Amino acid sequence: MDLQKIRYFLVLAEELHFWRTAERVFISQSSLSRHMQALEEELGIRLLERDKRNVKLTDAGKFLQQQWRVKVRELDHIQSQAKKISEGEAGGVSITYPGSIAFKFLPLFLDNLNSKLPNLKIELTEPNDENHEKLLLDYKADLAFGRDRITNSSIETYKLYAEPVCLIVPKAHWLTQENFVSLKDLQSERFILSGLHQKTFFASFLRNLFYNYDFEPQVLIESDFGGMILSLVSKGLGITILPSSFSYAKAENVRFIELDEEIGLYMNWRKNELNKAIERVVECGKETAMLYSEM
Protein backbone atom coordinates (compact mmCIF):
# COMPACT_ATOMS: atom_id res chain seq x y z
CA MET A 1 0.00 0.00 0.00
CA ASP A 2 1.32 3.43 -0.98
CA LEU A 3 1.90 5.53 2.15
CA GLN A 4 1.70 8.72 0.09
CA LYS A 5 -1.88 7.90 -0.93
CA ILE A 6 -2.77 7.48 2.75
CA ARG A 7 -1.25 10.88 3.51
CA TYR A 8 -3.32 12.44 0.72
CA PHE A 9 -6.42 10.75 2.09
CA LEU A 10 -5.83 12.11 5.61
CA VAL A 11 -5.56 15.66 4.32
CA LEU A 12 -8.69 15.20 2.21
CA ALA A 13 -10.52 13.72 5.20
CA GLU A 14 -9.66 16.89 7.09
CA GLU A 15 -10.48 19.37 4.34
CA LEU A 16 -13.39 17.49 2.73
CA HIS A 17 -12.65 19.52 -0.37
CA PHE A 18 -10.64 18.31 -3.38
CA TRP A 19 -9.39 21.68 -4.56
CA ARG A 20 -8.16 22.86 -1.14
CA THR A 21 -6.57 19.47 -0.51
CA ALA A 22 -4.81 19.52 -3.89
CA GLU A 23 -3.37 22.92 -3.02
CA ARG A 24 -2.12 21.72 0.37
CA VAL A 25 -0.37 18.63 -1.01
CA PHE A 26 0.95 20.39 -4.16
CA ILE A 27 -0.66 18.20 -6.81
CA SER A 28 -3.45 18.78 -9.32
CA GLN A 29 -7.05 18.10 -8.42
CA SER A 30 -7.30 15.43 -11.12
CA SER A 31 -4.20 13.65 -9.78
CA LEU A 32 -5.65 13.71 -6.26
CA SER A 33 -8.89 12.19 -7.56
CA ARG A 34 -6.96 9.39 -9.31
CA HIS A 35 -4.95 8.64 -6.15
CA MET A 36 -8.14 8.35 -4.07
CA GLN A 37 -9.78 6.12 -6.62
CA ALA A 38 -6.70 3.89 -6.75
CA LEU A 39 -6.63 3.68 -2.94
CA GLU A 40 -10.27 2.62 -2.80
CA GLU A 41 -9.70 0.00 -5.49
CA GLU A 42 -6.64 -1.37 -3.71
CA LEU A 43 -8.55 -1.66 -0.42
CA GLY A 44 -11.79 -2.82 -1.97
CA ILE A 45 -13.50 -0.26 0.30
CA ARG A 46 -15.43 2.87 -0.49
CA LEU A 47 -13.87 5.67 1.56
CA LEU A 48 -15.59 8.75 0.18
CA GLU A 49 -19.03 9.88 -0.84
CA ARG A 50 -18.70 12.69 -3.35
CA ASP A 51 -20.81 14.81 -5.65
CA LYS A 52 -20.03 17.99 -7.56
CA ARG A 53 -19.99 20.13 -4.41
CA ASN A 54 -19.34 17.98 -1.36
CA VAL A 55 -17.07 15.23 -0.06
CA LYS A 56 -18.06 13.08 2.88
CA LEU A 57 -16.39 10.14 4.57
CA THR A 58 -18.09 6.79 4.66
CA ASP A 59 -18.16 4.99 8.00
CA ALA A 60 -15.24 2.89 6.80
CA GLY A 61 -13.47 6.10 5.76
CA LYS A 62 -14.01 7.61 9.21
CA PHE A 63 -12.63 4.49 10.87
CA LEU A 64 -9.52 4.44 8.67
CA GLN A 65 -9.03 8.17 9.20
CA GLN A 66 -8.85 7.61 12.96
CA GLN A 67 -6.56 4.60 12.69
CA TRP A 68 -4.27 5.89 9.97
CA ARG A 69 -3.86 9.29 11.61
CA VAL A 70 -2.37 7.64 14.69
CA LYS A 71 -0.24 5.17 12.73
CA VAL A 72 1.15 7.78 10.34
CA ARG A 73 2.02 10.06 13.27
CA GLU A 74 3.85 7.15 14.93
CA LEU A 75 5.62 6.32 11.69
CA ASP A 76 6.69 9.93 11.23
CA HIS A 77 8.10 9.92 14.76
CA ILE A 78 9.98 6.67 14.12
CA GLN A 79 11.43 8.03 10.90
CA SER A 80 12.41 11.26 12.64
CA GLN A 81 14.18 9.33 15.40
CA ALA A 82 15.94 7.13 12.85
CA LYS A 83 17.20 10.24 11.07
CA LYS A 84 18.45 11.71 14.33
CA ILE A 85 20.21 8.44 15.16
CA SER A 86 21.76 8.40 11.69
CA GLU A 87 23.00 11.96 12.25
CA GLY A 88 24.19 11.15 15.78
CA GLU A 89 21.58 13.35 17.48
CA ALA A 90 19.49 10.73 19.26
CA GLY A 91 19.34 7.08 20.22
CA GLY A 92 20.97 5.71 23.32
CA VAL A 93 24.43 5.56 24.85
CA SER A 94 25.53 3.40 27.79
CA ILE A 95 28.31 5.00 29.85
CA THR A 96 30.36 3.51 32.70
CA TYR A 97 32.36 5.67 35.07
CA PRO A 98 34.41 5.61 38.30
CA GLY A 99 32.73 7.13 41.35
CA SER A 100 35.46 9.76 41.70
CA ILE A 101 34.18 11.74 38.71
CA ALA A 102 30.56 11.77 39.88
CA PHE A 103 30.90 15.03 41.81
CA LYS A 104 32.24 17.40 39.17
CA PHE A 105 33.44 16.10 35.80
CA LEU A 106 30.51 13.76 35.11
CA PRO A 107 27.76 16.34 35.87
CA LEU A 108 29.66 18.90 33.78
CA PHE A 109 29.95 16.39 30.93
CA LEU A 110 26.26 15.44 31.10
CA ASP A 111 25.18 19.08 31.16
CA ASN A 112 27.34 19.76 28.11
CA LEU A 113 26.05 16.64 26.37
CA ASN A 114 22.42 17.51 27.07
CA SER A 115 22.85 20.98 25.59
CA LYS A 116 24.22 19.49 22.36
CA LEU A 117 22.17 16.27 22.08
CA PRO A 118 18.97 16.83 24.09
CA ASN A 119 17.24 13.78 22.56
CA LEU A 120 20.02 11.35 23.46
CA LYS A 121 19.07 8.74 26.06
CA ILE A 122 21.93 8.10 28.50
CA GLU A 123 22.37 5.03 30.69
CA LEU A 124 24.90 5.47 33.50
CA THR A 125 26.57 2.60 35.36
CA GLU A 126 29.22 2.70 38.07
CA PRO A 127 30.79 -0.77 37.89
CA ASN A 128 32.03 -2.21 41.14
CA ASP A 129 34.93 -4.43 40.06
CA GLU A 130 34.19 -4.82 36.38
CA ASN A 131 36.60 -4.91 33.48
CA HIS A 132 35.79 -1.87 31.34
CA GLU A 133 37.45 -3.51 28.34
CA LYS A 134 35.13 -6.52 28.55
CA LEU A 135 32.06 -4.30 29.02
CA LEU A 136 32.91 -2.44 25.81
CA LEU A 137 33.73 -5.56 23.78
CA ASP A 138 30.54 -7.30 24.99
CA TYR A 139 28.46 -4.24 24.00
CA LYS A 140 27.34 -3.77 27.60
CA ALA A 141 28.83 -0.27 27.49
CA ASP A 142 29.37 2.18 24.64
CA LEU A 143 31.71 4.58 26.41
CA ALA A 144 33.87 3.87 29.45
CA PHE A 145 35.46 6.53 31.60
CA GLY A 146 38.23 4.87 33.54
CA ARG A 147 41.49 5.40 35.35
CA ASP A 148 43.47 3.15 33.01
CA ARG A 149 44.30 3.25 29.31
CA ILE A 150 42.85 0.21 27.56
CA THR A 151 45.40 -1.33 25.19
CA ASN A 152 43.21 -3.32 22.84
CA SER A 153 43.32 -3.02 19.03
CA SER A 154 39.49 -2.89 18.95
CA ILE A 155 39.22 0.02 21.39
CA GLU A 156 40.04 3.71 21.05
CA THR A 157 41.33 5.47 24.14
CA TYR A 158 41.92 9.13 24.95
CA LYS A 159 43.45 10.70 28.04
CA LEU A 160 41.20 13.49 29.26
CA TYR A 161 43.30 14.85 32.12
CA ALA A 162 45.45 13.94 35.12
CA GLU A 163 44.89 14.89 38.75
CA PRO A 164 46.75 14.52 42.06
CA VAL A 165 46.18 11.61 44.42
CA CYS A 166 45.52 12.73 47.98
CA LEU A 167 45.75 11.52 51.53
CA ILE A 168 42.44 12.34 53.17
CA VAL A 169 42.30 12.73 56.94
CA PRO A 170 39.78 14.10 59.47
CA LYS A 171 40.19 17.84 60.04
CA ALA A 172 41.32 17.27 63.62
CA HIS A 173 44.11 14.95 62.47
CA TRP A 174 47.73 15.95 63.20
CA LEU A 175 48.76 15.53 59.56
CA THR A 176 48.71 18.59 57.26
CA GLN A 177 50.07 19.46 53.83
CA GLU A 178 52.88 21.39 55.53
CA ASN A 179 54.13 18.66 57.88
CA PHE A 180 53.65 15.65 55.61
CA VAL A 181 56.94 14.00 54.69
CA SER A 182 56.37 10.35 53.81
CA LEU A 183 53.81 7.57 54.01
CA LYS A 184 56.24 5.82 56.32
CA ASP A 185 55.21 8.34 58.98
CA LEU A 186 51.76 6.72 58.95
CA GLN A 187 52.70 3.24 60.17
CA SER A 188 50.38 3.49 63.17
CA GLU A 189 47.44 4.99 61.24
CA ARG A 190 44.28 3.04 60.48
CA PHE A 191 43.42 3.10 56.77
CA ILE A 192 40.09 2.80 54.95
CA LEU A 193 40.85 1.65 51.39
CA SER A 194 39.62 -0.11 48.33
CA GLY A 195 40.49 -3.80 48.66
CA LEU A 196 44.16 -4.11 47.74
CA HIS A 197 43.62 -7.71 46.63
CA GLN A 198 41.33 -6.65 43.81
CA LYS A 199 42.27 -6.45 40.13
CA THR A 200 40.97 -2.94 39.57
CA PHE A 201 43.34 -0.29 38.29
CA PHE A 202 43.10 1.80 41.45
CA ALA A 203 43.83 -1.18 43.70
CA SER A 204 46.89 -1.90 41.55
CA PHE A 205 47.86 1.78 41.76
CA LEU A 206 47.70 1.67 45.57
CA ARG A 207 49.74 -1.54 45.76
CA ASN A 208 52.47 0.04 43.65
CA LEU A 209 52.34 3.22 45.71
CA PHE A 210 52.83 1.36 48.97
CA TYR A 211 55.54 -0.81 47.44
CA ASN A 212 57.47 2.26 46.27
CA TYR A 213 57.30 3.70 49.77
CA ASP A 214 58.16 0.31 51.30
CA PHE A 215 55.04 0.70 53.40
CA GLU A 216 52.31 -1.73 54.42
CA PRO A 217 49.17 0.05 55.61
CA GLN A 218 47.07 -1.12 58.51
CA VAL A 219 43.71 -1.49 56.76
CA LEU A 220 40.75 -1.28 59.12
CA ILE A 221 37.89 -1.11 56.60
CA GLU A 222 37.71 -2.04 52.90
CA SER A 223 35.17 -0.52 50.51
CA ASP A 224 34.87 -0.14 46.75
CA PHE A 225 32.84 3.06 47.06
CA GLY A 226 34.79 6.27 47.44
CA GLY A 227 31.79 8.18 48.73
CA MET A 228 31.39 5.71 51.57
CA ILE A 229 35.11 5.83 52.36
CA LEU A 230 34.98 9.64 52.49
CA SER A 231 32.02 9.52 54.87
CA LEU A 232 33.86 7.11 57.20
CA VAL A 233 36.94 9.33 57.23
CA SER A 234 34.77 12.32 58.12
CA LYS A 235 33.54 10.30 61.13
CA GLY A 236 37.10 9.86 62.28
CA LEU A 237 37.28 6.11 61.64
CA GLY A 238 40.52 6.27 59.69
CA ILE A 239 42.37 7.90 56.82
CA THR A 240 42.40 7.08 53.11
CA ILE A 241 43.97 7.73 49.70
CA LEU A 242 41.72 8.84 46.82
CA PRO A 243 41.90 10.98 43.66
CA SER A 244 41.63 14.71 44.36
CA SER A 245 38.33 14.92 42.44
CA PHE A 246 36.64 13.62 45.59
CA SER A 247 37.20 17.09 47.02
CA TYR A 248 34.22 18.20 44.92
CA ALA A 249 32.01 16.01 47.10
CA LYS A 250 32.40 18.77 49.70
CA ALA A 251 32.45 16.27 52.56
CA GLU A 252 32.58 17.93 55.98
CA ASN A 253 35.34 17.38 58.52
CA VAL A 254 38.01 16.17 56.09
CA ARG A 255 41.33 17.53 54.84
CA PHE A 256 42.96 16.71 51.50
CA ILE A 257 46.77 16.41 51.39
CA GLU A 258 48.26 16.12 47.92
CA LEU A 259 50.81 13.40 47.34
CA ASP A 260 53.51 13.58 44.71
CA GLU A 261 51.49 11.19 42.58
CA GLU A 262 48.99 11.67 39.74
CA ILE A 263 46.28 9.52 38.25
CA GLY A 264 44.68 9.98 34.84
CA LEU A 265 41.14 9.82 33.53
CA TYR A 266 40.70 8.08 30.19
CA MET A 267 37.80 7.84 27.79
CA ASN A 268 37.48 4.49 25.99
CA TRP A 269 35.15 3.40 23.18
CA ARG A 270 34.93 0.80 20.41
CA LYS A 271 36.62 1.42 17.07
CA ASN A 272 34.47 1.49 13.92
CA GLU A 273 31.35 2.17 16.00
CA LEU A 274 28.09 2.08 13.99
CA ASN A 275 26.25 4.27 16.49
CA LYS A 276 27.11 7.71 15.14
CA ALA A 277 26.08 9.32 18.40
CA ILE A 278 29.25 7.93 19.99
CA GLU A 279 31.46 10.15 17.86
CA ARG A 280 29.62 13.24 19.05
CA VAL A 281 29.64 12.03 22.66
CA VAL A 282 33.41 11.53 22.45
CA GLU A 283 33.89 15.06 21.13
CA CYS A 284 31.74 16.34 23.98
CA GLY A 285 33.96 14.45 26.45
CA LYS A 286 37.10 16.07 25.04
CA GLU A 287 35.51 19.52 25.17
CA THR A 288 34.35 18.96 28.75
CA ALA A 289 37.85 17.90 29.80
CA MET A 290 39.22 21.20 28.54
CA LEU A 291 36.58 23.12 30.51
CA TYR A 292 37.24 21.03 33.61
CA SER A 293 41.00 21.55 33.44
CA GLU A 294 40.49 25.32 33.31
CA MET A 295 38.35 25.38 36.47
Q: Which domains does the chain have, with CATH numbers?
A: 3-86 (1.10.10.10), 90-160+266-293 (3.40.190.10), 162-261 (3.40.190.10)
278 in Cβ contact with 269 (< 8 Å): yes
Angle at 271 between CA 265 and CA 277, to 5 degrees: 80
d(CA 244, CA 284): 23
Structure confidence at residue 6 (pLDDT): 94
Nearest CA to 226 out of 195, 205, 197 is that of 195
Sequence-distant (6+) residues with CB within 8 A of 152 are 133, 137
Nearest CA to 229 out of 212, 245, 242 is that of 242
267 in Cβ contact with 152 (< 8 Å): no
Structure confidence at residue 284 (pLDDT): 96
The tens digit of pLDDT for each residue in 110-166 reads 999 999 999 888 999 988 666 788 889 888 899 999 998 899 999 999 999 999 999
Structure confidence at residue 84 (pLDDT): 66
99 in Cβ contact with 287 (< 8 Å): no
Structure confidence at residue 176 (pLDDT): 95
- In this structure, which amino acid lies at residue 105? F
pLDDT < 50 positions in the chain: none
- Kindly state the helix (H) or strand (E) to which residue 3 belongs, with its residue range: helix 3-15
Handedness of CA 259, 133, 207, 221 (dihedral sign): positive
Structure confidence at residue 191 (pLDDT): 97
Structure confidence at residue 272 (pLDDT): 87
Angle at 77 between CA 272 and CA 87, to 5 degrees: 25
Structure confidence at residue 91 (pLDDT): 78
Structure confidence at residue 193 (pLDDT): 96
